[in-house]
Structure 1
Amino acid sequence: MKKLFASLALFGAMLFAAPSFAEEASAATAASAPVVASAAEAKPAAAVTPASAPVAAEAPAPSLNKGDNAFIMICAAFVILMSIPGLALFYGGLVRSKNMLSVLMQVFTVFSLISVLWLVYGYSLAFTEGNAFFGSFGKVLLKGVTPDSLAATWSKGIVITEMIYVVFQGAFAAITCGLIVGAFAERVKFAAVLAFIVIWFTFAYLPMAHMVWYWAGPDAYTSADAATAATATAGYLFQDGALDFAGGTVVHINAAVAGLVGAYMVGKRIGFGREAMTPHSLTLTMVGAALLWFGWFGFNAGSALEANGIAALAFLNTVAATALAALSWTAAEWLFKGKPSMLGAASGAVAGLVAITPACGFVGVGGALVIGLIAGPLCLWGVHGLKRLLGADDALDVFGVHGVGGIFGALATGVLAAPQLGGTGIWDYVGNAVAADYSIAGQLKIQAIGVLVTIVWSGVVSIVAYKVVDLLIGLRVKEDEEREGLDVTSHGEKAYNM
């Protein structure tokens, strides 16, 4: 526990050391996904729209486009594919064969559990107006969400069907919770996983999604006074001006911190550091990584919420950053270890996907390549050098990849979104133009605050949640069960039968 608190303090100090020049956040600045409403009052949650946003003096009447609807339906299915089977196979191949089925079961069941909780109360608490940290219970069990209700997008007057948006954002919540299980794989009780996820989803994921992505929608920004009033109803980090196109803080840093805390509190695997714990199937890990990359196009491009030029930019950046990160990780590993590995290439690709996520709709292709080039070696250090410093048995390197890559990507967004560096800048909905006063130093400070809030919020919630579960259920399986493997002892099955 001392190492855990020391680690949180270390990261806080690193973030506070970021440039301290602040700027006033513009009326519309920040995220990626909308809040939903009726046809008469569509309320999205994407704060900033790059330069392709429509220019009009008054917001047009809401217009439903079947092409946008179809696009988000497909993107939602892509994000689901990222979890099952993508993440499940990526993680499953990395554990020992005696625990393969347990990882598949954890990811599959967590996905199912969160999908249900999202419909019951998650969507309502994340994407309705409440306070700066939580929404309301106004849409519990999707009350009032019908085939005719609409969700706003990034553009004034452009809407999509709300039910599609519910599924799309629910898939984000599900994969975020699934990411956590890799940190304490091979030694945790199945019931403990489910109990922890319910608590963490409710008190960490939902408020982070609300803080970053909830706002009144572009149609509310008709004048400076209206913009001020609308921004006052938004989430805490949205009000501050944080940029997160598709989930660098909400998804990756949030999950990574929860995973790191779990690695400390569950404890190290028996034999960790003394016995070989090599992946049992890098073939399946490569297949999982490929499915993650494929599904990530829905994750990133879909966060544009329209089939437009910004979706195309996010799509292209997802190719560029990921490919270069896979190459840069491989090159660094080849240089320092003497041989390039398949695991390294797959891990590098995931590192690139993580790092480009918050930036994909805000940076130019050059910026995406810079992010990919740095993310590979940086996350390689994260899973080796940093892991040794932290002293935690983060089994599948959740923090080394998602934490380090997410922090880097969030901070890099503040720099590379600048128009002078090829980025899209921040769209001012009142002036219907890109804001002219983009400050790299000011935005970098805003991004650092967003990262720090995510680390502290997720860290505190995670510590409490793990402690509660440990008292009520117990976190860890018995020693003999761990040695035999969780497939048989927890689920009564084997992944492979000869």
Structure 2
Amino acid sequence: MDADTAWVLVSAALVLFMVPGLALFYGGMVGQKNVLNMMNMNLYCLGIVPILWAVVGYGFASGDWDFPLFGDFDAFWLNGVDDMVAKREFVFGMTFAAITPALISGAVAGRMKFSAWAIFVPLWSFIVYSPVVYWIYGGEGWIFNLPAHDFAGGTAIHINAGAAALALVLVLGPRKGWPRDVDFPHNLPLVLLGAGILWFGWFGFNAGSALASDATASHAFLTTFLAAAAGMCSWMLAETIKDGKPTALGIASGIVAALVAITPAAGFVGAMSSIVIGAAAGVLCFLAIGLKLRYKYDDSLDVVGIHMFGGIIGGVLIGFFADSGAIEGADFIDGVFFGGGELLGNQIISIVAVMAYSFVATYIIAMVLHRTMGIRSSADDESVGLDQSLHAETAYNN
């Protein structure tokens, strides 16, 4: 096994580990009666999405025919995925495909039917996720050829999932009693543990996206580390200025917000620029989570505020900070601060297009499910808690 294959496979394992990390992160943030439901929604994605990816999703996201909107079906049933390079890239992409819909689950915590979630995830993965991945990373994808930069999935994953989360919560409606009478995070140590696992796994997420054990991977590892540290500090500062005290939830949220923002930029910006991006994400995402109260959408665990806005922040700032001189052997379009003028407009076009497509397509999927099987749990089920009513179990024996 060569070094590149070893690094990509290790990175894939790190990304897979992020899903149970996300389950802990989200699980600690919900009320005690919905912990297992939240974790089940995340872990389900590790079951259904890899199967779909193997059967049809991979080809739809990476086909090589001359078409700008989606791939082909040549890789149906893993046809042609034979050599070592193809298999390692398939496996790496499979972990990304699994975690993306899991991100959406935090927005609908405490009120979506698990049966509806079980249908929503494969539909969304095929109709929304795979085409967007093709746009951005497929050799004939229109965003790839625009060109716009997205190193590890800020647009393809975080903005995509955030826009979908917004559409889904608008169809579902708010939790009973929201915003005043809802459960608070029941276990902050779980949240911090989950955030730590996410930070650890994110090195595979970003540095692994170099798809090689090389200078770009090392650089992405460095920028990921620095951005997350800066995001944690800036969120704590913003929270202290506004509310008087830093909180454990704020520390965890600042880390994740900055990791989201550096994801599209990790292999395109210099180390010191990554600190600026992380710090900006910490402050701006802290402010963005308040928009749900102003505009009255119940994004339970701030998926829109952290993932959609964090992805936007990182994607737009690439247009200013992209610096091919910062990475050995790099060759890409520079940002405004390093002599380039074209990239910023391309970044904005790609972000707006993915947001619009994801929001509209998700809204349609959600409305179809709403009109057919129903997607909202009953009021009685929500009062009892989804752990007991939908899964016949509880997280704790009191």
TM-score class, shorter-chain normalisation, is: over 0.9
Structure 2 Cα separation of the partners of residues 197 and 73 of structure 1: 25
Q: 2:331 corresponds to which residue?
A: 427
Cα drift, residue 388 of structure 1: 2.1
* Secondary structure, aligned partner of 1:294: helix
**One-letter amino acid of the structure 2 residue matched with residue 275 of structure 1:** D
Is residue 470 from structure 1 mapped to residue 370 from structure 2 by the alignment? yes
Asked if the contact 1:102/1:487 (under 8 Å) is kept, the reply is yes
**One-letter amino acid of the structure 1 residue matched with residue 347 of structure 2:** Q
Asked if the contact 1:418/1:440 (under 8 Å) is kept, the reply is no
Asked if the contact 2:231/2:278 (under 8 Å) is kept, the reply is yes
* Secondary structure, aligned partner of 1:138: coil
Q: 1:458 corresponds to which residue?
A: 358
* Secondary structure, aligned partner of 2:213: coil
Provide, for residues 214-264 of structure 1, a one-character-per-residue CA deviation record: whole Å limited to 9, x for no partner: 11xxxxxxxxxxxxxxxxxx1010111010000011000000011011111
* Secondary structure, aligned partner of 2:144: helix
Q: 1:230 corresponds to which residue?
A: none
List gaps (5 residues or longer) in structure 1.
1-64, 151-160, 216-233, 429-433
**One-letter amino acid of the structure 1 residue matched with residue 6 of structure 2:** A
Structure 2 Cα separation of the partners of residues 350 and 406 of structure 1: 11
Q: 1:414 corresponds to which residue?
A: 319
Q: 2:35 corresponds to which residue?
A: 100
User: Matches of residues 369-408 of structure 1 in structure 2 within 5 Å?
Assistant: 369-384=275-290, 386-408=291-313
Q: 1:356 corresponds to which residue?
A: 262
Cα drift, residue 144 of structure 1: 2.0
Specify the structure having the higher radius of gyration (Cα). 1
Structure 2 Cα separation of the partners of residues 440 and 103 of structure 1: 44
Q: 1:286 corresponds to which residue?
A: 192
* Secondary structure, aligned partner of 2:396: coil
Is residue 111 from structure 1 mapped to residue 46 from structure 2 by the alignment? yes
Asked if the contact 2:268/2:324 (under 8 Å) is kept, the reply is no
Is residue 142 from structure 1 mapped to residue 78 from structure 2 by the alignment? yes
Is residue 124 from structure 1 mapped to residue 59 from structure 2 by the alignment? yes
Using the size of structure 1 for normalisation, the TM-score is 0.77
Provide, for residues 301-352 of structure 1, a one-character-per-residue CA deviation record: whole Å limited to 9, x for no partner: 0000111111000000010000010010001101110010000000000001
Cα drift, residue 441 of structure 1: 3.0
**One-letter amino acid of the structure 2 residue matched with residue 166 of structure 1:** F
Structure 1 Cα separation of the partners of residues 218 and 100 of structure 2: 24
User: Out of 334, 340, 344, which is 1:440 matched to?
Assistant: 340
Q: 1:82 corresponds to which residue?
A: 18
**One-letter amino acid of the structure 2 residue matched with residue 214 of structure 1:** G
Alpha-carbon spacing, 1:325–1:383, altered in 2? closer, same or farther (3 Å): same
Using the size of structure 2 for normalisation, the TM-score is 0.96
Is residue 324 from structure 1 mapped to residue 260 from structure 2 by the alignment? no
RMSD: 1.7
Is residue 497 from structure 1 mapped to residue 392 from structure 2 by the alignment? no
Cα drift, residue 111 of structure 1: 2.1
User: Out of 300, 303, 307, which is 2:213 matched to?
Assistant: 307
Provide, for residues 183-233 of structure 1, a one-character-per-residue CA deviation record: whole Å limited to 9, x for no partner: 111001001112111221111100100000011xxxxxxxxxxxxxxxxxx
Alpha-carbon spacing, 1:209–1:349, altered in 2? closer, same or farther (3 Å): same
Structure 2 Cα separation of the partners of residues 276 and 270 of structure 1: 8
Cα drift, residue 115 of structure 1: 1.1
Give the structure with the higher percent helix.
2
User: Out of 67, 79, 85, which is 2:3 matched to?
Assistant: 67
**One-letter amino acid of the structure 2 residue matched with residue 369 of structure 1:** I
**One-letter amino acid of the structure 1 residue matched with residue 133 of structure 2:** A
Alpha-carbon spacing, 1:407–1:436, altered in 2? closer, same or farther (3 Å): closer
Q: 1:264 corresponds to which residue?
A: 170
Is residue 248 from structure 1 mapped to residue 154 from structure 2 by the alignment? yes
Alpha-carbon spacing, 1:425–1:417, altered in 2? closer, same or farther (3 Å): farther
